[in-house]
Copies of this chain bind each other. A is one copy, B any other.
Amino acid sequence: MLLKVLNGQPCCGLAAEPLADDRASLLALKFKALGDPVRLRLVALIASTAEVCVCDLVPAFALSGPTISHHLKVLRQAGLVDCERRGTWVYYHVLPEALGELKALL
């Protein structure tokens, strides 16, 4: 039984490490955050510019403000995005290191 990574065909970063339980949970949290169409589109919108105001995100969906706020919170808690308040408005930006961590596994 030969490791794929030794075959010259490492199919992905996941193939390399045995992936301990606690690390798997942390990573799964991030993948799960991306595992919703609304949140995926949110990340795409946020990533497409340096930062995006929530007031620009809400009208991009046929969903209530609280629902968008909830999804943004999930993304924040997963460590994929962060936000900054400036006056009345809140601006979101992606955390590229977090996306890079996932990318390294695929």
Binding site for B on A (CB under 8 A): 1-5, 7, 11-12, 14-19, 21, 24-25, 27-29, 31-41, 43-44, 47-50, 94, 96, 99-100, 102-103, 106
Known: A12-B96, A48-B15, A106-B106. A37 touches B28 (CB 8 A): yes
Asked if B35 and A31 sit within 8 Å, CB to CB, the answer is: yes
* Chain A residues touching B, majority SS: helix
Known: A11-B47, A19-B41, A32-B32. 18 other contacts (CB 8 A): A3-B48, A11-B96, A12-B94, A12-B96, A14-B40, A14-B48, A15-B47, A18-B48, A19-B40, A19-B44, A21-B41, A24-B41, A25-B37, A27-B40, A28-B37, A31-B31, A99-B106, A102-B106
